[in-house]
Structure 1
Amino acid sequence: DTINPTTVTLNNVSVDEGTGTATIGASLDHAPTAGPVVLTLSNGSTVTFNVGYTPGDIVQSTPFAVQGDDVYRDGESYSVSISSYTGGAEFENLVTTDTATVTVNDTINPTTVTLNNVSVDEGTGTATIGASLDHAPTAGPVVLTLSNGSTVTFNVGYTPGDIVQSTPFAVQGDDVYRDGESYSVSISSYTGGAEFENLVTTDTATVTVNDTINPTTITLDGSTSNVTGQITLTAQVDHAPLTTNLVITLTNGGPTITILAGQTTGSVTFANPNPALPHTYAINTATGGQYEHLDTTSTITIAGPLIDLDGNNSSGVTGTGYKTHFVDGGAPVTIGDVDTVITDADAAGQHIATATIKLQGTAGAGFELGDVLAVGSLPAGITVASNDGNTITLTGNATLADYQTAIKNITFAADATTPNKDLIRHVEVQVTDVDGNQSNVAVADITVNVIQAPGTPGSPVNNGDNTVIGGNGDDVLVGDGGGVKTVLQPGTNYNMAFILDVSGSMRFDLDQGSGNANERLNLLKDGLKQYIQNTVLPFAAKAGTADGGHINIALIKFAGLAQTSLTISIADVVNGDWTALNNTINALTQGGGTNYEAAFNEAERWFKGLSTGANDTTAGTDATDRASTNADGTAIAGYKNLTFFITDGNPTFYMNGNTEAGSGSEAQNAAAFNTILSQSKSTFDHGYNQTSGNGGIGSISTVAAIGLGIGVKKPWLQMFDNTDSIGNITIDVGTQNVSGVNVTDSSAPTPNPIANFDNATGNNAPAAWVASADATAATLNTNKLILADSTQGNGVAAVYQGPSFAVTGSSTFVSFEYGRSNWVAGDAFTWKLQRQNSGVWETVEVGSNAASNDHAPSGTNSTGLFMQSGILLAGTYRLQFEVEDNSGTGTGDYVVRIDNLQRNTSAGTDTITTTGGQPDIVLTADQFQYALEAGGLSATLNPVGNDKLFGGNGNDVMFGDTINTDWLDWTGRNLDAANQPDAAGSGMAALKEYLSLSPSDYTLVNASLGVQDIDLYNYIKAESNTTTGISRFNATADTRGGNDVLDGGMGNDILYGQGGADILIGGAGNDILFGGTGADTFVWGKTLNTTTGNLVTNGTNDADGSTDIIKDFSLAQGDKVDAKALLDALGWDGNMGTLSQFVTVTGSTIDIHNAADTISVNIVVEGQTFTALNDMITKTNFQTT
């Protein structure tokens, strides 16, 4: 058998991608006989040839998968072979080596780029276009370049359909024109994407740039020329018209203005329809220019410049003028008000070229030779072209505001030596603008006001008989300087005893009931030495002259009986005695109880011993052996007994006959203290072991009691002081001590709260405590009033004035508790109890903390130190608290806490009613000196003269005598001091001191020059209420008044006659008249002849239709109304039967008029009501003869 092959033939196949499946055709060249021949191909398909197969027929394989359709270039061709077969054993040689080629053909599918449209506002800057692909790149980035130059990049890994933004491209900038746009952007080229069969880039995007609405403003400007009589109007735009002209029509008959395309201004010139009037033009229509929006609100007023020296007419001058005054001797005054205003045709844009300021008239006529116009600081761009002192020319192109400033900085000053107060100066002001337009001429009228008062330059005023003349201005005339002279009365000799407490408590601190630093004793020693050295010895050194006197001096120390003794007595003390006195004072030591009675006895013995010169310790017989008292201890003629009773505590012993009684302790009960006080008072008044008579030191000597520290109960100490006696007082034995603890078994004084600060209503409210500028507003914290000095170390105290409260009877004292925080040495707390006197608050008591070593509780919940006044007279009171932080910064504000402010009225069975004075309780060295001075020195009021004052024209304020300055208050002022300016009655000296301390209610005109006349003038003038006439400077109760003549002259004057029998003449105008104390005469129809000093008739001048008011008429004091001269001038014949034709009364008003009632003057007599003419004559002592 030969081997013959049977061959399998595989056919090639070609199919498109995406067809899904394909088959391969196969054939055999011999048919199977034994069974099927099954071929397995290398791609897994099979081909089956069954028995009966016809050789050569094509049999298809089972289907196999071919590549799916996609967009990428990925057609393929591969070979398929026969990997195995089954059957065909009957064939000698089945040949299966043939292969078939499968070809998968690539179909062309598109990949599409989509561009998104974009909308953006002009001026946005840039925009981007979004793009997307529907198939992702696989071979690398596909970068599209858009027709506007932007690019879009699709990176490998891109998610089909996602939007990718192009790189930014510029869009049209924002402008004012109508030029929104829309354009198409296409794809100009791309790179990458070779893997795609077909990348379609035909899409486009539409870019829309929206027009935003931006305004273009038309501004009208213009000018007028007084030379050509024409107006030129200019319209200006901030953006030129784009393609067409802008045509503007105007209101008010104005012409048309055209601004050409590409230009920004257009002008038109036309005749001024009326140069005397201003003309205002506004825009009627505006067309062309392709603008988005035109602002056509601009207007222009055409007129020449106008200057007004007093914009709101506050000086009383209507129109463009100004009225002011120059105070003789004061600082120069500006010739324009603060609201001087220049207006011009061009509103804010117009400029002024020149200004001329000149005094009207000639020297010696319109003004004085020494009068001066001066130039102050000028704004940049304005210079002085010329200035001879009377005419000033300013030049320089500058704004209206700058020239306003320049003119306000021109000042006038009257001649210093001959101010001529009767001559009104007129200053003319005119400006010219840059177009040559001249303004109106504005005039400033300047009167020269004078203050005729003590110490002012050129003033004749002293405390003598003066003639004081005002001028045409609003003058302040003061007849007398007042003041005090401080003396141990010159020509008076003194027996001077110092009773000095050296009890054991003198080792205590000043503001607490404990301590071992000898604060109280040291204060006693230092203060006593200072007083003797500075006051006593210098006075004694002038013995035998009008300025001094002889002094016998004694130092009496006391504690318990055993420690009480006359320590030193020197007759006719001289400077050479200082060593002995100094050594004696230095040797004082503390120890023992407190026996007032023993001390008073020792002093009584000393005074009585002076009747024989027995107290003289000098050797031999000389002038010191002279007697200086009578046998009963009273001072002989030419001598005065003076005692200082200085103690730190309350009496704890008394004398039972010659034996000391009492426990010596503060812990005794009410009965014991009642006995101690009563016994001590008896000895004080009547003498040792006496119950009647006048032998005690309180009867034979002036006794000034001074308490050192807060251990002394002031109401008790009042019993042992006879200075400034307030009459009978009722004290309570149960009065609290320094810790606020009542006496055992006593009925304590009845409390009546003023403020406990437990809530924020009524007197407790912080707002009820009025704070000064340097003070932090009062607050409440832990049921206490919190006060603080907010500025450290500036030398100004924070002042708080409390609400008023009433005190009745003579058995009440005021108390409160004091606590503090952030105190350092030098920080000072002062309280002042003030009493209202005729509407003026006067300080009647002063107290303080211990400024060198403050032991007040600092805890917020602590009970404060108990501070108290003495028994008070009935009246209306208030408390003023002063807090001064004298430390540097960084220590925290000094804070004071006030609590339990109350009245305490003596009550129960344990009261004592007796006479009382006004002792001092002191905690500082300064207060101790004040107390010594007030007790020993005498602040004697200076006598005043009989003056004649004439106001002249203007609204004058006139004082016949001195001004009252006792109401002025400053830190540390003590009206009880013996020296000016602190002392009561200091007059002008106190005002100067007050103003020099930079008070919160006044700023000096020139701080670098100190207090000037103009400051005195301003302050006195402002204090007089022009409606009521009330002035706190009016010394209504001053007993020094001279017999003065006050003539107001013309104007609305305020006259204060004050003390004495004064003559008051209101003169023409509405006048307010205060006669003051004394028998005063109110006169109409006469005036003061300033040459002769006599009164002369002045016709009917006073019947000017005005109303005069007499504020304080007193028939009881002898006041009278004298209108006889005026009635004569009006035609009255002197017959009482015809008086009613010339005088009419209604209520409190006297109407004096002529018979026809065509001219008149009304006289209002406040406090009176007239039922008929005769009733008026009786009630006013109306003079008819």
Structure 2
Amino acid sequence: ATVEPRPLSVEITIDTIGGDGFLNNAELSEKLTTISGTVSEGTPEGTEITLTMDGRPIGTATVNSDGTWSTAVETSLIKDGGEVTAEISLSDEYDNEVGDKAFTTVVPTPLDVEITIDDVTGDNFLSFAETNQLPGEDAPTIKVTGTVSGNAAEGDYINVTVGDVTHTVKVQKDGEGKLVWEAEFTAENLMKNPEVSASIEIRDDYGNVVNDSALTTVNVEMGNLITGNEHDNVLEGGDETSDLIIADTQGFQQQPGQDYNIAFIVDTSGSVNSGDIKSIIASLTKVFNSLHQNAQFDSSGKVNILLVDFDTQVNFAVSVDLRDPNALKTLTDALAKMTSGGGTNYEDAFKTTANWFHEVGGEGSENLTYFITDGKPTYYQTGEKSLIDVDSRSGSSNVVTLDLSTLNYTAGQVVTMKIAGHERVVIDAQGNVYSWNASDRQNVGVLRADGKGGYELSTLGGAGSSTSSTTTSNAHSAFLLLMGVCNNVEAIGINNGISANDLKPYDSDGNVMSGIAADKLAEAILGGDNVQMAGAQDTVHGNAGNDILFGDMVLFGGSSGFDAMKAYVADKLGVDASKLGVSHISQYIAEHPEEFDQSQNDGGKDVLFGGLGDDILYGGGGSDLLVGGSGDDLLFGGKGDDILLGDGYESASKLAEAMNTTVGKLTFEGVSDFISQNSDVLGGLGSGNDKLYGGEGKDLLIGGGGHDLLNGGDGNDLLFGGTGNDVLIGGKGNDMLIGGAGQDAFTWLKGDDGHDVIKDFNAKEGDRIDLSELLGGNIDNNLADYIQVSQNSNGDAVININTDGQMQSQGSTMSITVEGSSMADINSLLASPDNTAIIL
């Protein structure tokens, strides 16, 4: 019989690629991907299957005994997606061949997301204006914004964290279709934790989970109060801090956060009459009230006060911490006990005060003493000893020694010792020392301060009505003990009882205040316009930061310094001065700079360097040098013949280097000459957009790089704009204006006068002469009533002006010489209907 061959057939399927036919992020990151399937029944085990993708070989597989097949291919071969083909073929002994193919599509499903944080407040910088909070106002808040991209979608959630505060916000679309987010935090939180993090996590139906995060740091504007005194100061602002620096101050200037130990030594000897005693009490009451008020501020440090009343010897010494609730009453009660009488014992007063400084100590505290007297010393202490025999019985064996150097005695302490078998009081509560003979005692003296933190037994010496060399020597020795623990002693002479020369040995820097009326004592201590000193010659460096520098004293309402400034700002804002800090004052000045442009007639020759940042510099009185440095600066020269540089050197050392000298050899006159002679070079330095106001006097203003505003003010000024499109305003007086490179505007304001000169006007380069505010827009068609153009002997045009429109009858009241332009040039510009070079 004939056996027919069984028909040959095969079928193949692809079940899965990567488990589901989709390749998510995790699977795409794997090196190998599994592809599996089945074949029809009867397909021989071991039959090879060929796998291709879009015609490219990607691997092979073999049939298993159960009709399945599986293999792992390199993921990189299929990651971009496409059609996978599995092909199988069979043959038999009869040369029959059959085959089959299976097809499936690989779909890569990557998921991606990216998050960004925008610059917080536009520049990642929180200024005083953005963080300050005034009483009664809501706490300021800061918006933090950003974007997301990739596969993020509207409605996804963002976690934004500052410190321990996290806000969860939704992704939204903005007007341009971008995906954005926004969260809001308190300014206080950002100041304490100046780092912002944002994160997003998204997932899809294919098992993808992706996330991204971003981090940004915010710079917070911080500032310090730095003050000088009535002497010549060199003051340095901090790096990266926006400091308020007042170079000249008068009286005590309390710094926020600083701890103080302040002693008041008051002479109430017989030469101080009862009327002056009352005035001294009233003045010190005012001083203590002021110090007490400031001590209650949250920003204030600890303030310890010592009040010493002395005449023949120290009458009392009262010490308080001004934060104690009864401190002010304790001081005023003590003041009420002051009476006139006795001689003058500097030594005892100085030693008592020195002991107090030893006692209060305080690392980081600032120590200060006010020594108030009306006369030279007439008493002193003598016979000082610390070893005392308190057993007065006869016999060499009857010796009991009180050793004050090892006793660790404190005022008011009662000390007993065993004498002849009995416990005896050798120092009573009043400091009296006793020697005992059996049951009888003898007062051998009173303990006095030794100025070294301990006590000694001494007796009174001196005539009481005159001053001997011994009196002076003892007084000065005691003063040196005081200086050892308090290096800032301010001597104040009441009325005319003692000369400045006699006071100088008892003042730490030799700069005394003498001839002060008793009723002006408070002003002398706290500062005020009733007791005013000439300005010093200061050098101030703002360094990096948006600094505010005052070269001279600042006066408001009869007071000076920061407290006066704070009271002024508080009044303007209608808030409690105690709630204002340095940042509030700096912000107010920056927003109202013209209110602080004040000058005293006797200001010093100050040199102010703004340094890096947007600075405000006030020269005040005197002939000053103001250098803005990098940034957009605002300079006020004030009274005097000032030099103002909008850009230029960052410090005295840089200026000295340019002058080929050292800082120690810089003189104001030398610097003035150098800058005057190199104005063309200085005009190209920097790029800040600065504002320079010369004020009164013969000033030199140099804008430097950038688009600057220069206003000479009163006086005969020289203005040099430098590079950039500058505005030059000569002001009153006969001024010389040099625009420099750029399209400059030579401008006159209402009330300006004089005979001014423009050195480099060029209409073709975009320069213009602006007379619109000077003439008030009243010209209409009567140009000849206001302006008449002539020509000088050099052929330069002269614009003659009568601001009242009375040119025909009264002639010109001021003039502008335009060097390099002829009369015809100017008349042509005035006549042109398209004239933009001369603005009327």
Is the TM value for this pair above 0.5?
no
By percentage of residues, which structure has more helix? 2
For the pair shown, the structure with the greater C-alpha radius of gyration is: 1
**Shorter-chain TM-score tier:** under 0.3
Give the structure-1-normalised TM-score. 0.20
